């Protein structure tokens, strides 16, 4: 075996002995080591093999998961490490355990690169200064280029990138610049592996196509429209099976493309896409139309025969036939119209649901940034509790409705049985009233022998089971003991109740004092009003009561769409979770 590269050995030793925050800067030396050899030569492959054997590639992959805003070098170092990682993986031929490298290491590297891209995209969107936005955009472009280089050298990773949740999150964005970069990555994926959309699962395929169609329907930016149109055209050209999916899943796509994007500067690609969609629709409609016409001919011939046969016997049947024919034709027209309306409504509801989901996630991220770090766990617990209650409420309603529909037939049978039984009882009662009363017959009594035998059995049972006897003094003593134990229990319960009330009062007082101390200003900013707050307990209690009252008034003025989850809550009741999330906790009268 050839000796390892001394530069790789020295760097591995430095990484092992260095602190964690210094490792990213040390790993940047790999760029010079990789650049010293020409791409594709044996020396380059040997260097990449040494880097992988000494776990430097694993170090690069793990470092991408860290928060580089707190490390030396910042996000620029992370972008360079992403580029180094992709170059180390492309052209590397692992000899020992290649299955682990292909099935575990490479997917993990793709996941970490996409995770880093999501972080850079989020910071680019939140950045305010132009210079900072340009830096984050440049680093984001570097990371996406590294991802493209990686699946360009490893074609099997194209499907892995497309199925990754981080890639779908990168694609679902309203930012124009990052959206164009992510769509260019998708364009490269389709160029590298044209059949990748047929290899992924149906949910991923629908998510990607839904997002592309949503971008065409929700924006008027020609750059976004051009990129989305080219991607759909590429999908339609490479995957003929997906053209039928586009025409069947998105009924109004042709009209949307022709009305909204004609004359925007990419009419050539738009025309090709429309031609493919119209051709698929015409082929499908032509076959269906031929079958429909054949069925109509067969039905017409049979109906004509039946009609002529009936007309010979019943001349009056002409009017009935005409009426039924017109009614059926009207019914078919109504059915077709309703089907079209349902499909359009379904598409509209799907787009609205995706838009609402996106706004909900963005609102959650903004709230998490606004809320103080110490209140994040409390806020997440409250949101999880509300979500669980909503899910439980809808599930119980769905289960009750399902059980009701399943038991509807049994309820009908039960009601029918009740009606039949009631009628039968009435019939028997009437029949009983019509019968003459029979003369009175004395009950048959016991004979002397039976009476003696029964008395003997009673005496034998009393002898076998004698009753326990207790004297009057023992009964009084037992009664006094029971009274004493009852009095002790009542006294102990009163004392425990008073102690519990005192503990709750002290706990409420401590919580109030802690909250006052946390919200108190510094000693240099203290005023006489702040001293009054600590000297008098009525001022904070009154302030909290005023805030609670204002919150209750604000809740009653909420619009209807904020109360959709509270349909079964009375108007004068406000949820405690909503008040606690808005104002914290109010202590009144020593209770929380």
Q: How far apart are CA 114 and CA 147, in angstroms?
A: 8
Residues 578-581: contacts with CB under 8 Å, at least 24 apart = 579/548, 579/551, 579/552, 579/555, 580/382, 581/379, 581/382
Q: pLDDT tens digits for the chain (592 residues)? A: 456 777 877 887 887 887 877 777 877 777 777 777 666 677 777 777 777 777 777 877 888 888 777 777 788 888 888 888 888 887 777 777 777 778 888 888 888 888 888 888 888 888 888 888 888 888 888 888 888 887 787 788 888 888 888 888 888 888 888 888 888 888 888 888 877 777 888 888 888 888 888 888 888 888 888 888 888 888 888 777 777 777 777 777 777 887 878 887 777 877 888 777 777 766 655 566 677 778 888 988 898 888 888 777 766 767 778 888 999 999 999 999 999 999 999 999 999 999 988 998 888 788 777 777 777 788 888 888 998 999 999 999 999 988 888 888 888 898 999 999 999 999 999 988 887 655 555 556 778 888 899 899 998 888 888 766 677 888 888 889 999 999 999 999 989 998 998 898 888 878 877 877 787 777 777 777 777 666 666 666 677 777 878 888 888 888 766 766 554 444 444 445 444 444 444 444 443 3
368-384 per-residue burial string, b: 16 or more CB within 10 A, e: under 16:
eeeeeeeeeeebeeeee
- Answer yes or no: is 164 within a domain: yes
Q: What's the chain's length in residues? A: 592
Cα 364–chain centre separation: 13
Tokens 């959709």 belong to residue? 564
Q: Closest by alpha carbon to 265, among 213, 224, 218? A: 224
- Residue 250 token pair: 């998105």
- Answer yes or no: is 33 within a domain: yes
- Answer yes or no: is 35 within a domain: yes
Entry pTM: 0.47
Cα 583–chain centre separation: 28
- Answer yes or no: is 485 within a domain: no
pLDDT value for 592:
35
DSSP for 210-260?
Answer: HHHHHHHHH---HHHHHHHHHHHHHHHHH-THHHHHHHHH-TTHHHHHHHH
CB-CB contact of 196 with 159 (8 Å)? yes
pLDDT value for 193:
80
CB-CB contact of 157 with 150 (8 Å)? yes
Instruction: Give 588's strand partners.
Output: 591
Q: Looking at residue 2, what DSSP letter applies? A: P
Q: Closest by alpha carbon to 382, among 552, 582, 561? A: 582
CB-CB contact of 504 with 589 (8 Å)? no
**What's the start-to-end Cα distance of the chain, in Å?**
74
Phi and psi torsions of 535, nearest 5°: -85, -30
CB-CB contact of 548 with 583 (8 Å)? yes
- Answer yes or no: is 399 within a domain: no
CB-CB contact of 53 with 93 (8 Å)? no
Supply the range of the domain harboring residue 80: 6-200
Instruction: Give 591's strand partners.
Output: 588
- Answer yes or no: is 208 within a domain: no
The SS3 call for residue 591 is strand
Q: Closest by alpha carbon to 24, among 34, 33, 36, 14? A: 14
- Residue 206 token pair: 């629908």
Strands (E) in 47-163, as ranges, are: none
- Answer yes or no: is 102 within a domain: yes
Task: Count Cβ atoms below 10 Å from residue 357 Cβ, excluding itself.
Answer: 11
Torsion of CA 195, 200, 206, 209, to 10 degrees: -40
CB-CB contact of 44 with 91 (8 Å)? yes
What's the total number of domains in the chain? 1
CB-CB contact of 121 with 57 (8 Å)? no
CB-CB contact of 553 with 563 (8 Å)? no
Phi and psi torsions of 591, nearest 5°: -125, 150
Evaluated on CA atoms 445, 449, 453, 459, the torsion sign reads: positive
Q: Closest by alpha carbon to 348, among 214, 479, 474, 455? A: 214
Evaluated on CA atoms 239, 244, 248, 250, the torsion sign reads: positive
pLDDT value for 579:
42
pLDDT value for 141:
87
Q: Closest by alpha carbon to 232, among 199, 263, 266? A: 266
Q: Closest by alpha carbon to 544, among 592, 589, 591, 585? A: 585
Cα 371–Cα 374–Cα 377 angle in degrees, nearest 5: 80
- Answer yes or no: is 73 within a domain: yes
């Amino acid at each position: 075996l050839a000796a390892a590269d001394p530069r790789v050995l020295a760097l591995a030793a430095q990484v092992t002995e260095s602190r964690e925050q210094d490792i990213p800067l040390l790993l940047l030396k790999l760029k010079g080591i990789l650049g010293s050899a020409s791409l594709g030569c044996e020396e380059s492959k040997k260097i990449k093999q040494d880097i992988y054997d000494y776990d430097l590639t694993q170090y690069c992959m793990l470092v991408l998961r860290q928060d580089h805003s707190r490390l030396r070098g910042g996000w620029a170092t992370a972008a360079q490490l992403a580029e180094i990682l992709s170059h180390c993986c492309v052209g590397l031929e692992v000899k020992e355990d290649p299955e682990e490298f292909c099935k575990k290491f490479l997917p993990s590297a793709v996941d970490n690169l996409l995770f880093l891209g999501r972080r850079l995209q989020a910071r680019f969107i939140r950045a305010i200064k132009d210079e900072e936005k340009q830096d984050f955009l440049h680093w984001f472009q570097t990371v996406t280029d590294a991802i493209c280089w990686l699946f360009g050298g490893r074609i099997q990773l194209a499907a892995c990138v497309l199925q990754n949740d981080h890639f779908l999150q990168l694609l679902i964005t309203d930012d124009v610049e990052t959206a164009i970069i992510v769509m260019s990555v998708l364009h490269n994926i389709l160029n590298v592996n044209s059949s990748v959309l047929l290899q992924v699962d149906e949910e991923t395929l629908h998510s990607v196509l839904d997002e592309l169609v949503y971008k065409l329907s929700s924006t008027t930016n020609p750059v976004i429209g051009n990129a989305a149109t080219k991607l759909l055209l590429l999908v339609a050209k490479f995957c003929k099976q997906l053209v039928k999916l586009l025409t069947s899943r998105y009924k109004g796509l042709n009209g949307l493309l022709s009305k909204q994007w004609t004359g925007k500067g990419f009419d050539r690609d738009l025309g090709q896409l429309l031609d493919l969609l119209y051709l698929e629709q015409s082929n499908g409609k032509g076959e269906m139309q031929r079958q429909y016409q054949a069925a109509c001919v067969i039905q017409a011939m049979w109906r004509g025969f039946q009609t002529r046969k009936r007309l010979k016997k019943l001349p009056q049947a002409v009017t009935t036939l005409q009426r039924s024919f017109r009614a059926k034709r009207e019914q078919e027209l109504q059915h077709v119209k309703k089907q079209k309306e349902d499909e359009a409504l379904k598409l509209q509801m799907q787009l609205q649901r995706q838009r609402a989901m996106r706004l909900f996630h963005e609102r959650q991220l903004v709230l998490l940034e606004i809320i103080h770090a110490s209140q994040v766990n409390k806020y997440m617990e409250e949101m999880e509790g509300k979500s669980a209650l909503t899910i439980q409420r809808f599930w119980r309603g769905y289960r009750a409705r399902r059980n009701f529909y399943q038991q509807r037939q049994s309820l009908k049978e039960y009601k029918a049985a009740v009606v039949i039984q009631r009628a039968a009882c009435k019939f028997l009662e009437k029949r009983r009233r019509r019968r003459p009363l029979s003369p009175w017959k004395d009950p048959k009594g016991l004979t002397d022998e039976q009476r003696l035998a029964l008395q003997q059995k009673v005496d034998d049972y009393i002898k076998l089971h004698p009753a326990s006897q207790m004297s009057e003094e023992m009964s009084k003593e037992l009664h006094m003991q029971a009274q004493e134990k009852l009095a002790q229990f009542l006294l102990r319960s009163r004392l425990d109740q008073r102690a519990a009330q005192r503990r709750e009062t002290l706990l409420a007082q401590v919580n109030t004092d802690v909250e006052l101390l946390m919200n108190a200003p510094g000693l240099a900013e203290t005023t006489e009003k702040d001293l009054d707050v600590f000297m008098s307990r009525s001022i904070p209690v009154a302030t909290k009561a005023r805030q609670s009252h204002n919150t209750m008034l604000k809740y009653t003025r909420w619009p209807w769409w904020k109360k959709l989850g509270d349909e079964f809550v009375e108007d004068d009741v406000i949820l405690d979770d909503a008040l606690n999330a808005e104002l914290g906790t109010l202590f009144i009268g020593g209770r929380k």
